[in-house]
Structure 1
């Protein structure tokens, strides 16, 4: 098999005359841009071929398919072209061309040169520099006692503050369909066939912790059909959301469905009947965070992070193995996390060495893991693994959710990495609480949701709702100010 790091044109891993590489859009193969025959570069017929030169930067390249593939074997340049050494804009056609973010590029060097501590050190391309620190920390905090039955976990859900492994996941309500091939286990190949090989996925480069945009077919080629020794990099998919893909037939644990705040309040509107509510939800679909597929190869590592809005997480390992290192959202830990997040040389610091009260747990195929809100965690993958999981907000952790959202603002988390429509969820919750908590016997729906909402939580909601940066248009009140006043009146 051709080494994915060897250019198929010049057969070299390093070429001083080639300034940058491009990765095939449909497989893991990298090539030097300047090694590709000029006649195979397509410029959207903007100028005659005699005027063209090679692209001089990655910004001018939209996509590429290598010679292994029969269709579209071209470099495609976006609305910018090169002519006689100068970049010119095709104004006439610029609005007709959609330019995606271009992630599939790297410099000529195979080894990353990243500043570590005082100087620059070479990183091994197949090993994250924090792996050894992670394993040492994992051993220090290893926990084999946080295990609970599905029935007990459901009964005690409102009081649970630590991560737990479910001892009998088959009784939890979580469901992953059996397949006719591969010993009955769902595989990356199956998922690719169901969703479609042209579906776009974000692929994380473990060394840089940055995302690239791949097709699912390209990812399947890398994960399923490329031997570990021939993989050019260690990569990870942790954000393939599949809530609307019914053909996958995935089901969340019962306790998640019972406590998912979005499910319980999203369609609430006093003015609407059931048919109108259904139509309204079609026009304004709820946030898509329920079901994710995570696909990680051996030695994949995800550095410390908080799930958006500090959501709780369910995590069902379909195949493979995972190591989790988690720390609770104590004041000290949150302060250290914020400090680390704002650190210019974040990659040089292993956060686990300064956090307290850790919990380290190993998960194997079939295990179901439940993580409560706000836990700061990192994940290491010892073997190729496939996981079904998801995120959910709860009344139990409302104050933690609001606290983490403020931390996201302080640490300048990009909007696309935050909980989608969070302001709408909180606004709808405020309306739900006000309109249902009429009097002691006035609950018309979800009475337990009302009783579980403490005065402290309502006060936190009020503070959040009245922030200038929070945008929400009430459904049942004339203004956000009127809604906030009604919410404040609920506090006894």
Structure 2
């Protein structure tokens, strides 16, 4: 593979992130930082000579200025072309224009008066000016804070975007270069810095945004910490502009509201109210080819002039169209925030940006993603207000309606423009459906027979159609709301937690395990004579192997009235919970109540392990014997009469707790050589059943260890692919998938014994 071409005096490959300029003589490319040419200066060079060609052909040739009122100052000044925004001629004319005073629309307040509750009650529709900072919650450096201090806290190597005001064009440069420019007494150009976001720098510790912006911000309130999308940082900007810096009319990205504070210097704002007419005019003006030649302030009915001196804070609401002139060198701090008060306007501004094809660099980061997060939280808020029997504020209801419409539009747009910002943990269609239900409920069944009121929240004066405004009532409502939120979070955690198995699930799992081991247990081959002999004995080795294979069945069940009241899980002898010294198994027992399957207590117990033997099932059992055999095979039920005296003929399932170790050993040897109880004694497992096939009330039942269930004789083992089962579930047909399961067989057995007192 060919090596990448090298450029510049540094002989490095091309880097798209670094500005480069071409030499008009040698045609080689050079990094601006290597040849001391800044990006905003490159547009002034007519013919560039690199350092090598400069020694031979002389210095570079610069462009000749022909006018002071056009972005391209090389155009001839014939008086036929109008003045463009940002030029020196434009700035002088702007300062001589007359405008309506901003006092007509400005609301002057003290810092302590600007609260979230005030804005929710009265709305945030007009700019607010704060001159007394106490109570606003805004923390800033002292007025002596200089641009060099900014370089020290942020770092001189940070690459920033600056605006060449005379051309109204962006260019990149290092912060250290801008600071050097700012501190020069003579500035050949007017450069303006308005996009230095410093939340990720040391300077962030020196600034705290106003409380009202912090509490209302969507990003601060609704953006989750585990979001796939990176969190937008738009709350802390440092603006440094020299005299005559100008920013033309615009609406802040995403229709965000803005807070500005002038640390030193002065700024002049030209404000236009966002009426439907003005917004339509603004969109037409922004998309026109001669936008820079038309002063938008003259196209609207009123454009207000507002001077913001040093130490003053200005809050601009959603959608307000504004231009800014820096009348003297100035440093200001500001930030943007989305909120619930003007959701419809914010969405309208965002859609306008899309129609104007605004570059992503100048749009609110992940605007659609945060709208999904907000929709999810507003759904919970509406539910809480309804549960509190409080009327939902009008701004919230109207905002949710606008949000529902926008979310539907974005989902439809995904079909043709797959640029999804829908978070992974949100079901969009379900969320839209739930929000629509809440809005329909508010419109069809308003609280207390009244429609949503204009007063915001529940803090309304007494006597209105809402909640009383007394402090005690508000505190009680807040406590109740917090309790409901905690309960809702607990329910969500419980839904996400793994559920305990139900009775039938435990039965089915247990039976499947037993049947599987019985069908494929490692039983040894026996001779034809042993299979068809009169006694049908199973060899000692085969019995031992079967007993070993059945020890994997560790689940014990206890039932009352056909319902599991406890189940016990045994650990293997080789497990870590086994007591090897006494031949005991450590078990975990879980007791269930008769009402639910919730585990209420656990305990550790020990049980002796009994040796097991094998016996053959009757080849043609009666109905009673078939039922008893199935229960025995599942390890659920064995019948025994009250044990009186231990005898050689006592059943193999008799209680081991009443015998001595010598008797246990003797009993084991006897079981290995004697016939099975059913063959030698003529006893049948159906003795405890009455004529109707049901257990008599006088019969005593004791739990049978599933490991003691007699395995099937090799000649009676099921074939790998058994024929179709004919029962009530299948109606004689081949059972479909999921039919004739162990759950159905055991369910039928449990139904037969539902009225028994204790079924263990």
Q: Identify whether the pair has TM-score above 0.5, normalized to the shorter chain.
A: yes
Secondary structure at the aligned position of 1:486 is classed as helix
- Aligned mates of 1:487, 1:64 — CA distance in 2: 55
- Aligned mates of 1:147, 1:303 — CA distance in 2: 25
Residues 1:152 and 1:206: Cα distance change in structure 2 (over 3 Å)? same
- Asked if the contact 1:296–1:386 (Cα under 8 Å) also holds between the matched residues in 2, the reply is yes
Aligned to 2:434: 486
**Alignment counterpart, residue 254 of structure 2, candidates 309, 321, 324:** 309
Residues 1:353 and 1:62: Cα distance change in structure 2 (over 3 Å)? farther
Find out whether 1:300 has 2:282 as its counterpart: no
**Alignment counterpart, residue 193 of structure 2, candidates 219, 227, 237:** 237
Deviation of the 1:458 alpha carbon = 1.3
Residues 1:189 and 1:457: Cα distance change in structure 2 (over 3 Å)? same
Residues 1:216 and 1:138: Cα distance change in structure 2 (over 3 Å)? farther
**Alignment counterpart, residue 220 of structure 1, candidates 174, 179, 182:** 179
Aligned to 1:407: 352
Find out whether 1:153 has 2:90 as its counterpart: no
**Alignment counterpart, residue 352 of structure 1, candidates 293, 297, 304:** 297
- Aligned mates of 1:138, 1:369 — CA distance in 2: 21
- Aligned mates of 2:391, 2:140 — CA distance in 1: 29
Secondary structure at the aligned position of 2:277 is classed as helix
- Aligned mates of 2:299, 2:81 — CA distance in 1: 23
Secondary structure at the aligned position of 1:322 is classed as strand
Aligned to 1:286: 231
Q: Deviation string for 1:123-151 (max 9, x for gaps)?
A: 89x94343244334454344376321123
- Asked if the contact 1:113–1:120 (Cα under 8 Å) also holds between the matched residues in 2, the reply is no
Residues 1:333 and 1:436: Cα distance change in structure 2 (over 3 Å)? closer
- Aligned mates of 1:394, 1:113 — CA distance in 2: 41
Deviation of the 1:338 alpha carbon = 0.8
- Asked if the contact 1:41–1:74 (Cα under 8 Å) also holds between the matched residues in 2, the reply is no
- Aligned mates of 1:174, 1:194 — CA distance in 2: 19
- Asked if the contact 1:310–1:400 (Cα under 8 Å) also holds between the matched residues in 2, the reply is yes
Aligned to 2:152: 193
- Aligned mates of 2:140, 2:358 — CA distance in 1: 32
- Aligned mates of 1:456, 1:212 — CA distance in 2: 41
Secondary structure at the aligned position of 1:113 is classed as coil
Aligned to 1:258: 215
- Asked if the contact 2:114–2:136 (Cα under 8 Å) also holds between the matched residues in 1, the reply is no
Find out whether 1:143 has 2:85 as its counterpart: no
Residues 1:137 and 1:356: Cα distance change in structure 2 (over 3 Å)? farther
Secondary structure at the aligned position of 1:169 is classed as coil
Secondary structure at the aligned position of 1:317 is classed as strand
- Asked if the contact 2:99–2:305 (Cα under 8 Å) also holds between the matched residues in 1, the reply is yes
User: Greater relative contact order: 1 or 2 (C-alpha under 8 angstroms, separation 6 or more)?
Assistant: 1
Aligned to 2:137: 173
What is the 5 A alignment of 1:396-435?
396-435=341-380
- Asked if the contact 1:316–1:389 (Cα under 8 Å) also holds between the matched residues in 2, the reply is yes
Deviation of the 1:380 alpha carbon = 0.6
Secondary structure at the aligned position of 2:166 is classed as coil
Find out whether 1:461 has 2:403 as its counterpart: yes
Moved over 6 A (4+): 114-118, 121-124, 447-450
- Aligned mates of 2:390, 2:157 — CA distance in 1: 44
Residues 1:134 and 1:336: Cα distance change in structure 2 (over 3 Å)? farther
- Aligned mates of 1:359, 1:74 — CA distance in 2: 43
- Asked if the contact 2:229–2:366 (Cα under 8 Å) also holds between the matched residues in 1, the reply is no
What is the 5 A alignment of 1:25-36?
none
- Asked if the contact 2:153–2:202 (Cα under 8 Å) also holds between the matched residues in 1, the reply is no
Residues 1:140 and 1:473: Cα distance change in structure 2 (over 3 Å)? closer
- Aligned mates of 1:132, 1:380 — CA distance in 2: 11
Residues 1:441 and 1:351: Cα distance change in structure 2 (over 3 Å)? closer
- Asked if the contact 1:127–1:299 (Cα under 8 Å) also holds between the matched residues in 2, the reply is no
- Asked if the contact 1:104–1:212 (Cα under 8 Å) also holds between the matched residues in 2, the reply is no
Find out whether 1:202 has 2:151 as its counterpart: no
Secondary structure at the aligned position of 2:438 is classed as coil
Secondary structure at the aligned position of 2:129 is classed as strand
- Aligned mates of 2:159, 2:292 — CA distance in 1: 28
**Alignment counterpart, residue 364 of structure 1, candidates 309, 314, 322:** 309
Deviation of the 1:253 alpha carbon = 0.9
Deviation of the 1:54 alpha carbon = 5.7
Deviation of the 1:122 alpha carbon = 8.7
- Asked if the contact 1:42–1:75 (Cα under 8 Å) also holds between the matched residues in 2, the reply is no
Residues 1:61 and 1:322: Cα distance change in structure 2 (over 3 Å)? farther
- Asked if the contact 2:22–2:30 (Cα under 8 Å) also holds between the matched residues in 1, the reply is no
- Asked if the contact 1:342–1:411 (Cα under 8 Å) also holds between the matched residues in 2, the reply is yes
- Asked if the contact 2:107–2:127 (Cα under 8 Å) also holds between the matched residues in 1, the reply is yes
Deviation of the 1:73 alpha carbon = 4.8
Deviation of the 1:359 alpha carbon = 2.4
**Alignment counterpart, residue 105 of structure 1, candidates 25, 38, 42:** 42
What is the 5 A alignment of 1:115-154?
119-120=80-81, 127-137=87-97, 139-143=99-103, 146-154=107-115
Deviation of the 1:291 alpha carbon = 0.5
Residues 1:448 and 1:408: Cα distance change in structure 2 (over 3 Å)? farther
Residues 1:247 and 1:233: Cα distance change in structure 2 (over 3 Å)? closer
Give the alignment's Cα RMSD to 1 decimal: 3.3
Between 152-161 and 184-193, the greater mean CA deviation after superposition: 152-161
Secondary structure at the aligned position of 2:371 is classed as helix
Q: Deviation string for 1:255-298 (max 9, x for gaps)?
A: 1112112211112xxxxxxxxx4xx25x6442110100001000
Question: Which is higher, the Rg of structure 1 or of structure 2?
Answer: 2
Aligned to 1:17: none
Aligned to 2:684: none
Secondary structure at the aligned position of 2:152 is classed as helix
Residues 1:44 and 1:231: Cα distance change in structure 2 (over 3 Å)? same
Residues 1:62 and 1:250: Cα distance change in structure 2 (over 3 Å)? farther
- Asked if the contact 2:130–2:312 (Cα under 8 Å) also holds between the matched residues in 1, the reply is yes
- Asked if the contact 1:146–1:164 (Cα under 8 Å) also holds between the matched residues in 2, the reply is yes
Deviation of the 1:244 alpha carbon = 2.1
- Name whichever structure is richer in strand by fraction: 1
Deviation of the 1:195 alpha carbon = 1.1
Residues 1:378 and 1:254: Cα distance change in structure 2 (over 3 Å)? same
Deviation of the 1:104 alpha carbon = 5.5
Residues 1:358 and 1:146: Cα distance change in structure 2 (over 3 Å)? farther
For this pair of structures, how many residues does the alignment match?
Answer: 391
- Asked if the contact 2:87–2:166 (Cα under 8 Å) also holds between the matched residues in 1, the reply is yes
Q: Deviation string for 1:142-163 (max 9, x for gaps)?
A: 4376321123332532313111
